[in-house]
Amino acid sequence: MADCRTTAEQAEAGRHRCAVAIGAPAVLWLTVFFLIPLGMAAVASLLTAGGYGGIEPPVTAANYLRIAGQGTFGFAPVYPLILGRSLLLGLVTTVLCLAAGLPLAFWIARLPGMFKTIGLTLVVIPFWTNLLIRTYAWQILLSPEGWVTGVARWIGLVDPGAALYPGMFAVSLCMLCDFLPFMVLPLYVSVEKLDASLVEAAADLGANRWNVFRHAIVPQIRSGLAAGVTLVFLPATGQFVIPDLLGGGKTALLGNLIQQQFGPSMDWPFGSAIAMVTLAVVLLGLWVASLMGGKQGGAELL
């Protein structure tokens, strides 16, 4: 009996050593390239910018107060406005991707086998090219000579000689096209597993289309919705390449602000503080998404 117990303990110890050996490289990688730089940024955000881009004492919360709007001469809404503008752009992009991606996911899920593969391939084709190349292509399409501007001018949306670029319309359109796959793919996975009998039962019991969608469909695709919203909203909030190129460089966002502080301004403590605030926004978004995706089950169908 003792020999059996010893053998079981040795086997358990062997499995533990194996798990440690497998997980050690990943833990080391995350520690060196994520946790340590993150800790350095958190410490830097509480220090003061020195001369020529240096970081020096004293420890201060001035960088965070500056983001909150505290200026030399009182309240300065510049940075709160940038934060709000970034969140608004992320929200608008998420809503547009959801409005376009939800019906597209249902349509692809209802296609026959081979056509379903073709549909998914067409969705991910934008990933085959670099983001900068796609953004420059939109500059051409939305320029005064572009065919998209020509069609908009023909139907009266644009004045003669005007263009769709630069402007927020160009930014929103490019953001929609670039982030749409991140919404469609998780939604498609959830729609593929949707139980149609529940939808039919809700309709047979007299529910209108809205109630069928709300009580029989949404609870079944909630995890896909949560994943899609997270994958779109978080990177869209910190996006700076598309707004910078298609917005004409006239609208500052969180990404542009961080780039400016670590680049030309050489104010690393303030840039680190902005990065920490952005990280807090990301973690808050992940928490909300976990709440959205975690409330599934039969009770949600009632």
- 3-state helix/strand/coil string of 221-237: CHHHHHHHHHHHHHHHH
Question: Per residue in 130-162, pLDDT tens?
Answer: 888 888 888 888 887 777 878 877 887 777 767
Closest by CA position to 171, among listed 251, 105, 111: 251
75 or 181: whose pLDDT is higher?
A: 181
Q: Of all residues in the chain, what percent carry a pLDDT higher than 90?
A: 8
71 pLDDT band, cuts 50/70/90, is low
Phi–psi pair at 74, nearest 5 degrees = 110, -160
Q: What is the pLDDT of residue 163?
A: 74
- The one-letter amino acid at 226: A
Q: Is the pLDDT of residue 4 over 60?
A: no
C-beta of residue 289 within 8 angstroms of C-beta of residue 231? no
Question: Per residue in 77-134, pLDDT tens?
Answer: 778 888 888 888 888 999 999 999 999 999 998 888 788 888 888 988 888 888 888 8
Lowest-confidence pick of 7-11, 85-89, 175-179, 279-283:
7-11
CATH 1.10.3720.10 at 79-301, yes or no: yes
Instruction: Dig out the tokens for 295 from the structure.
Output: 């409330």
- The one-letter amino acid at 254: L
Report the half-sphere exposure of 236 (CA within 13 A, side-chain side): 32
Check residue 59 and report its DSSP letter.
P
Q: With 0-12 CB in 10 A as exposed, 13-18 as middle and 19+ as buried, what is 143?
A: middle
Q: What is the pLDDT of residue 280?
A: 86
End-to-end CA distance of the chain: 54
182 pLDDT band, cuts 50/70/90, is very high
Closest by CA position to 218, among listed 231, 241, 199: 199
Q: What is the pLDDT of residue 295?
A: 52
Q: What is the pLDDT of residue 294?
A: 57
C-beta of residue 218 within 8 angstroms of C-beta of residue 151? no
Q: Is the pLDDT of residue 1 over 60?
A: no
3 pLDDT band, cuts 50/70/90, is low
Count of CB atoms situated within 10 Å of the CB of 42: 14
Q: Is the pLDDT of residue 211 over 90?
A: no
Q: Is the pLDDT of residue 302 over 70?
A: no
Check residue 77 and report its DSSP letter.
-
**Mean pLDDT taken over the chain:** 81
Question: Per residue in 39-50, pLDDT tens?
Answer: 888 888 888 887
164 or 103: whose pLDDT is higher?
A: 103
Lowest-confidence pick of 8-17, 80-89, 269-278:
8-17
Distance CA 300, CA 215 (A): 7
C-beta of residue 242 within 8 angstroms of C-beta of residue 255? no
State the pTM of this model: 0.78
Question: Quick one: CA torsion of 45, 50, 56, 58, rounded to 10 degrees?
Answer: -80
Q: Of all residues in the chain, what percent carry a pLDDT higher than 70?
A: 88
Q: Where are the domains of the chain?
A: 1-40, 79-301
Count of CB atoms situated within 10 Å of the CB of 258: 20
C-beta of residue 240 within 8 angstroms of C-beta of residue 255? yes
Distance CA 255, CA 240 (A): 5
